[in-house]
Amino acid sequence: MNLSSPVFLKKLRERDHNALEHLINSYHDALYHGALKQKLAPDQAEEVVQETWSTFFEKVENFEGRSHIRTYLFGILYNKIKELWRSNKKYTQDDDFENTNIFDSQGNFTQAPIDPSDWSQSQEFLKVLEEELEKLPSNQKMVFILKEIQGEKSEDICNILEISNTNLGVLIYRAKANLRKRIERRFKYE
């Protein structure tokens, strides 16, 4: 069954049982893996995937097929994950940190970045990276994971998250600059 065909999409909109079941069988595992790759615990992954399907069932009648069904489903999933991050105290964001500027009015570094040659050899580095990634604002964290960890193409990320290419560039830049600064602080004072 072709998941992009107009016939299949029509069946979905009519809530055809077989079509919906086929869709679940096709994408459930991928959604679950997608949630786990965003560093959710298995229970949380299960919860967001179930919520994703519930939202999809509610909205399926309005699905016009402008984007691929996979893009549409992952769009819902990532929105659910962002909602979870925002509501979860564990992911409280350190906004003050983000706002401290690393450049002066002339565009020069206010503090020289340290030489990172020790980072590659440090066994702690991956742990620190993972911990600091958790603390990033949800949008930055999501695009960083999608682009840098999962290696998704920029075009696909823009479609799934419904953001422009410029916006994606800004988010990636901020995510990396934030991570860099946070990691540097950890290595400086530990």
108: contact with another protein by CB under 8 A: yes
Instruction: Report how far residue 50's alpha carbon sits from residue 80's, in angstroms, rounded to the nearest whole number.
Output: 10
29: contact with another protein by CB under 8 A: yes
Angle between helices 42-59 and 17-37 (to 10 degrees): 140
Environment class of 146 (CB within 10 Å of its CB; exposed 0-12, middle 13-18, buried 19+) = buried
134: contact with another protein by CB under 8 A: no
**How far lies 39's CA from each of 13, 77, 91, 92, 112, in Å?**
32, 14, 12, 15, 32
Indicate which single residue of 2, 25, 87, 164 sits in contact with another protein (rule: CB under 8 A). 25
Scanning 5-13, 68-76, 80-88, 175-183 for contacts with another protein by CB under 8 A, the matching segment is 175-183
149: contact with another protein by CB under 8 A: yes
Of the candidates 183, 190, 148, the one whose C-alpha atom is nearest the C-alpha of residue 168 is 148
Scanning 33-41, 64-72, 75-83, 89-97 for contacts with another protein by CB under 8 A, the matching segment is 33-41
Is residue 81 within 8 Å of 51, Cβ to Cβ?
Answer: no
127: contact with another protein by CB under 8 A: no
Is residue 60 within 8 Å of 52, Cβ to Cβ?
Answer: no
The partner residues of 103 in beta bridges, in order of sequence, read 109
Indicate which single residue of 2, 90, 99, 109 sits in contact with another protein (rule: CB under 8 A). 109
Indicate which single residue of 8, 53, 74, 78 sits in contact with another protein (rule: CB under 8 A). 53
Binding-site ranges for another protein (CB under 8 A): 15, 17, 20-21, 24-25, 28-29, 32-33, 36-37, 42, 46, 49-50, 53, 57, 103, 106-109, 112-117, 119-120, 125-126, 129-130, 133, 144, 148-151, 154, 169, 172-173, 176-177, 179-180, 183-184
